[in-house]
A and B are shown apart, each in its own frame.
Chain A
Amino acid sequence: MSGTTINLERAETSRLAQAKPFFQKYGLYVFLVLLILIAVSTSPQFLAPRNIQNLLTEGAPLGMAALGQTFVILTAGLDLSVGSLMSSVAVIATSIAPDNVMILPIFLIAIAFGALVGFVNGWLVTKRKVSPFLATLATMIVLQGLRFAWTKGAPLSGHLPPGFRVLGTGTLLSIPVNLWALGFLILVFAIVLYRTTYGRKLYLVGGNPRAAFLSGIHADRVIIAAYMICAVLASIAGLFLVGYVGSVDNWVGKGYELDSIAAVMMGGASFKGGKGGIFGSLAGVLVLIVIYNLVLLLGFPIQTQLVVKGLVIILAASFYLTRGD
């Protein structure tokens, strides 16, 4: 076309602009590698197998939560009820008989409870047209109320089936059990997202819900399913978290909603929907837990972690945006 000469001219003028797409696509991975290099060079313990194991064990529940959050953010929504749901599931787990036989029933109950909460979120967002922020904020508060009403506000401990400790902290073939679980969930949901018609529809609905609706896609169903996936994964994350922590208080999952959102956003998603994916989100999770680990290893006060995390979230999210986007 007539534009060729001009295109060449433009390419000359903006070498920087050429670097930008690369950075936008792989910026977080580059950042993650840099962060790990910093960690390795400043703290010899970082690469110790024990440390790596700890780091990943601790990060696995966040990985699960972020995995689910990815689905919801792809629909141009977000789920603030994740943390509250994790706490609630933890409370449920301790409220049933502390017997290893009950592990499977507890899992099933937690998943069913999560599916219900997710359905309510999705229903509010699609059928009642409540903005995702408010719908899930409300669910978060309601779950909090239900949980405290149930526990009367008292912390619970020692009523978990002992098997949960193994799930949360044990290793299998020297790989943490909860990492195996995370790996399995990643595999399943990567297939769902990247190989099934549902995954395709999720990206289409997220990218342009109106166009998807007018092309005969049941946009509402796709969105409700995304909230359900998110909540089910949060429930599972809650169980692994309680296994890791060992004891339960009513706030055990606090902060996971915002951390998971931050991880997904760092991973290249957009609140406008239709952008991002599982592996970006997981890289975002790794960034967060490496920061956390590094702060501990370097002996900084734990509060420093919050400061660094905050700065990194803002910075990392700014990679993906071009001005006027």
Chain B
Amino acid sequence: MAETVLQVKSVTKHFPGVVALNQVDFNNYAGEIHALVGENGAGKSTLIKVIAGAYQPDGGEIIFGGQKTVWDSPHQSREAGISVIYQEFNLFPDLTVAENIFMGNEPLKAFRLIDYPKMIKESDELLSKFGICIEPLKKVKDLSVAEQQMVEIAKGMCNQTKLFILDEPTAGISDQEAETLFERLAVLKAEGVSVIYISHRLGEIFQIADRVTVLKDGNLVDTFDTKAIDKNTLVSKMVGRDLEDIYPPKGGEAGGEALSIKSLSVGHLVKDVSFSLRQGEILGLAGLVGSRRTELAHGLFGSLPITAGSYKLGGREVSATNPQASIRSGLGFLTEDRKNEGLVLGQSIEANITMPILAQFANNSLVDFKREKNFCQQEMDKYAIVAKSGEVLVNNLSGGNQQKVLFSRWVQACGGVLILDEPTRGVDVGAKVEIYKIIRDLAESGLAILLISSELQEVVGMCDRVVVMKEGRLAGELENDQISEESIMHLATLSRENFVCD
């Protein structure tokens, strides 16, 4: 076998309230593509940040190029030849494409001046290697999400890389663009570069990876040869149980129309979307990153302005221009980004639960803390939120418990229709199963649920019906047996206009 480029030995990393990595072992050979898989919150992103020196491990060691390394900052790992494409974009919106690609790695002239002509030329070459036409002097804020993703990838490829780490590089790009990426990775592999590849799209992993390592809840499950394992086995390793046990059985009778949307547009973001949702139904809203599902939800909720069209809640026309009004008319919205848009992390569980309905616990503006406390205790029992008391700061809860706090909040506050945007992002499998059960129970109790999710499995496993969005428009609708990962992907990427050169 080829030489070992990277060896991770029993690495441990804690965050407040969570063990993100628990004595994980991992290694990578030269000229190998090694896939890293696991559910959201399994510890993949933490592991690569530890490898890249962005986090310092609490225990264990990392051996890179035969030497034990202790990196205080990403600067050192970069110098050593590790290049990372992170899941969240790490771009500078007000700088140009070329500057972004070469950030931290600029070609220099005398006096540490940047050699712009060279930088622009090399950016051009690099981008055209991917067959992409992006003007290197354009500012990044003027690019589309997919273009930004390609810039991020190009950024990772520009230096003398020995180990190339990609975290979900294909989350926002089309199959065609992904193929170009895979070709590049094959070339790098042939040149002896070692690659760590994280993806939710399991198909890709079987297509390009040599080995695959499974993480679950911060623990190493095992490492397999991709030839020696099939997709179903891999999935059951990832979730730690058989698929049938994860999703509650579908069914239940759908009632009357709870939400109906007619040719709704939200600025330039969402165009002419129509669909309806019935009581007791779970409707999936699927699409690639950048397909504007979240923006549609914000339009409904009054946090982005609706520019055309209308919608009805329970048969009544709604014209909400702010979340207060939407909540009053019966809508609840559990946002995708729970740290930035959902929770107030520095406040207690109680304060977070009663946020939209605080007035119910007040007499003449004075908060009745006793009543609030009792109510929250009931809620914590109901949703099995694990914490010493309701006064515990939300910051100290695990992802799953944080998410349950949000469920408690929104189920209380909403009056008929609940929008769930990525409700299981960053929670462990146990909590996931609980949340799926909560969602199904809510539907059975008559609530209409719009479930936005990027995890196709989840959409397939949970939804009674699915609508697919593509670049702000409706791409199609799927029902019953039509719902499959393949059919959703097909609609989501179908005849997508893209920026690939001819």
- Asked whether the complex places CB atoms of A and B closer than 8 A, the reply is yes
B366 within 8 A of A: yes
- Is there contact, CB below 8 Å, between A200 and B323? no
Q: Flag the segment in A2-10, A288-296, A309-317 that touches B.
A: A2-10
CB distance from B468 to the nearest CB of A (A): 25
| Contact surface of B with A, Cβ cutoff 8 Å | 12, 14, 18-19, 22, 58-59, 217-219, 301, 303, 323-324, 326-328, 333, 335, 340-347, 351, 355-356, 358-359, 362, 365-367, 409, 413
Complex-state Cα separation, A203 to B301, whole angstroms: 23
Complex-state Cα separation, A208 to B341, whole angstroms: 8
Give the residue among A6, A9, A196, A208 with the most B Cβ atoms within 10 A.
A208
**CB-nearest residue of chain B to A209:** B344
**Known pairs A1-B19, A214-B342. 17 more at Cβ < 8 A?**
A2-B218, A3-B19, A196-B365, A196-B366, A197-B359, A201-B358, A208-B341, A211-B342, A213-B303, A214-B333, A214-B341, A215-B355, A215-B356, A216-B326, A216-B356, A217-B355, A275-B346
- Is there contact, CB below 8 Å, between A214 and B347? no
Q: Total contacts A to B, CB within 8 angstroms? A: 95
Complex-state Cα separation, A196 to B358, whole angstroms: 10
A201 contact set on B, CB distance < 8 A? 358
Complex-state Cα separation, A6 to B327, whole angstroms: 44
B22 contact set on A, CB distance < 8 A? 2-3, 6
Known: A10-B14, A10-B58, A203-B351. A211 touches B343 (CB 8 A): yes
B413 contact set on A, CB distance < 8 A? 215-216
- Is there contact, CB below 8 Å, between B358 and A274? no
What is the predominant secondary structure among interface residues of chain A facing chain B? Answer: helix
Complex-state Cα separation, A211 to B344, whole angstroms: 7
Enumerate the 10 nearest inter-chain pairs by beta-carbon distance, A residue then B residue, closest first: A3-B19, A207-B344, A215-B355, A216-B327, A208-B344, A216-B356, A216-B324, A215-B356, A207-B346, A197-B362
| Contact surface of A with B, Cβ cutoff 8 Å | 1-3, 6-7, 9-10, 195-198, 200-201, 203-204, 207-208, 210-218, 274-275
- Is there contact, CB below 8 Å, between B367 and A197? yes
What is the predominant secondary structure among interface residues of chain B facing chain A? Answer: mixed
Complex-state Cα separation, A213 to B488, whole angstroms: 33
Complex-state Cα separation, A215 to B352, whole angstroms: 10
Known: A208-B340, A214-B323, A214-B341. A274 touches B409 (CB 8 A): no
Complex-state Cα separation, A243 to B341, whole angstroms: 47
**CB-nearest residue of chain B to A204:** B344
Known: A3-B19, A213-B303. A197 touches B365 (CB 8 A): yes
A9 contact set on B, CB distance < 8 A? 59
Sample 7 A-B pairs with CB under 8 A, ordered by A number.
A2-B218, A196-B362, A215-B323, A215-B327, A216-B323, A216-B327, A274-B347
Task: Choose from B12, B324, B366 the contact partner of A6 (Cβ within 8 Å).
Answer: B12
Complex-state Cα separation, A213 to B341, whole angstroms: 9
Complex-state Cα separation, A201 to B22, whole angstroms: 38
Complex-state Cα separation, A10 to B16, whole angstroms: 12
- Is there contact, CB below 8 Å, between B355 and A212? yes
**CB-nearest residue of chain A to B386:** A1
- Is there contact, CB below 8 Å, between A200 and B14? no
Task: Choose from B327, B341, B351, B365 the contact partner of A210 (Cβ within 8 Å).
Answer: B341
- Is there contact, CB below 8 Å, between A203 and B355? no
Give the residue among A200, A201, A204, A216 with the most B Cβ atoms within 10 A.
A216
**CB-nearest residue of chain A to B365:** A196
Known: A208-B344, A213-B323, A216-B323. A200 touches B367 (CB 8 A): yes
- Is there contact, CB below 8 Å, between A204 and B347? yes
Complex-state Cα separation, A58 to B18, whole angstroms: 49
B362 contact set on A, CB distance < 8 A? 196-197
B328 contact set on A, CB distance < 8 A? 216
